[in-house]
Amino acid sequence: MKPNINNINDLMDYLDNKVEGVVWDEFYAERRFQAPFITQNTMPDENLVKFLNNEKSIKSTIELGCGEGRNAIYMAQQGISVTAYDISSVAIENAKKIVKDDNINVNFICQDVLKKIVTGEYDFVYDSGMLHHLPPHRRITYIELLQKILKPSGYFGLTCFAWGEDCADEVNDWEYYNHKFNAGVAFKKERLIELFSPYFEVVEIRKYCNGVPNTIQGLQFMWVCLFKDKRTK
């Protein structure tokens, strides 16, 4: 870490070093926590399936925090050009093995999308579980990235922990920096609207539906959100 703070990037790096985070390579290598996206790592999210069944205009997609590739692979199976990022090299290598087995074309990249340059413009940006692991100061960087890579009138899909479901830490942004975390941060619906409505039209915010055939199960504690970019050109 640099000894002095001279610009916004220095400040972001300083705050990064003040918070704890999940060591994702260990998470995916050890597989001790039997989360649905570990135990059902070839199944897509039900909201993603529903969206792509209803919206046929999507030709290009970028996924943020793709894990072992279950959603990216599903999107590629629908004939969509997919670029998928994850910070874990273990997760990316596992995803590439699955792609090799199924002969599916996905551009998997191991990279921290909030600290490295991401290029291109996409019809659809999807995040299934990255946002709720970000510290509050990195949500600023995250929204800036969305605005950069999403085409005007493009869509942004999100799943994240829901406040009140006893699934994650329920703290406000100021409390975050003095709190020891376990599973990420839960959001109230109002907070999601506050974060994203200045830039996106809110299409839907609802709870995840279990029992949908051929999709991942056991995520009823999650919000599923769909937003549309307010820019028209």
Q: What is the pLDDT of residues 3-46, one digit of tens each?
A: 889 999 899 998 988 887 889 999 999 998 888 899 999 999 99
**Tens of pLDDT, residues 67-91:** 999 999 999 999 999 999 999 999 9
pTM of the predicted structure, to 2 decimals: 0.95
**What's the domain range around 209?**
8-229
Report the pLDDT value the prediction gives residue 2, as an integer from 0 to 100: 74
154 φ, ψ to 5°? -75, 170
The answer to the question of residue 37 being in a domain is yes
Report the pLDDT value the prediction gives residue 174, as an integer from 0 to 100: 92
The answer to the question of residue 107 being in a domain is yes
Burial-class residue 232 by CB neighbours within 10 Å (0-12, 13-18, 19+). Answer: exposed
Count other Cβ atoms within 10 Å, centred on residue 185: 25
CATH classification of the domain holding 218: 3.40.50.150
The answer to the question of residue 3 being in a domain is no
Q: How many domains does the chain have?
A: 1
The answer to the question of residue 2 being in a domain is no
The answer to the question of residue 1 being in a domain is no
